[in-house]
Amino acid sequence: MADKRVAIIGAGSSGAGWGNGKATAVLFAREGAKVLCVDRVAQAAEETAALIRKEGGIAETAVADVSDPDAGGQVADRAKSLWGGLDVLDYNVGISQQGGVLETTDADWDRVFDINLTGALRMTRAVLPLMRAQGSGSLIYVSSLAAVYSAPYSYVSYEVSKMALVRFARSVAHENASYQIRSNVILPGVIDTPHVTAFVDSKTDPEELAARRAAMVPMGRQGSAWDVAKAALFLGSDDSAYITGESLKVDGGLTA
């Protein structure tokens, strides 16, 4: 990954600890990439960038809210002004909304799709001209195992939006293969991240929750943000140069 120009969308963390985007940004930098840490919260982006710089890596920041129609252009312009282009885009943004079909309002549905899917469209649409001009690039979308595996509780808008993201990644792959631009999607399973902690009722005992989640997985443990980051590193590197339009599950055998 030496000197690769990488933008991590959602590089901050929603709470204490390591979120997928934060770990991915740090791991790419450790492998020699120049990393643009993008988040809607400036402090979150800067905290990740500071960790990278402390380790001797190269990191810049950009503030962008993927629900803003101009967000993609802001990121593309920042990458072009810094480094003249972009080699890897990692879209690691998503929100959850509990509720089945009867409980989900139009507003709930639209909000989840706007972040989980339309935001990916906005970012992709903005960076594709840079990648096409240089004749290379890797687009990585972080979906969820919820796209293909039903949870014990209902959150239909999340599940459907994440499945749509899988199809979107395949469409992008087909449309851009002739430009040597690859597009792949990661489906994390039971992963221990701040997002999960925030999603669960505050009255739930953390240790009990961790044990219950680990018991769901054939490997007997939850995954970590670093497991997701390593999958992203592979898809962003030349080691996966002939892989596009694929879905990579990171689930400890849950769907085996």
Cα dihedral sign, 85-3-134-169: negative
Judge whether 133 and 81 are in contact, CB under 8 Å.
no
Closest by Cα among 8, 12, 19 to 197:
19
Report angle CA 175, 178, 179 to the nearest 5 degrees. 95
How many whole angstroms from its chain centre is CA 233?
Answer: 12
Token pair for 198: 């925030």
Out of 149, 158, 179, 242, the active site residue is 158
Contact residues for 242 (Cβ-Cβ < 8 A; gap 6+): none
Cα separation values, 21 from 55, 67, 68, 93, 140, Å: 17, 18, 19, 8, 12
Strand partners, 184: 140
Catalytic-residue membership of 141 = no
Q: Residue 12 and residue 18: Cα distance in Å, rounded?
A: 9
Structural element, H or E, at residue 147: none
Cα dihedral sign, 144-148-153-159: positive
Give the residue numbers annotated as catalytic, written as ranges: 158
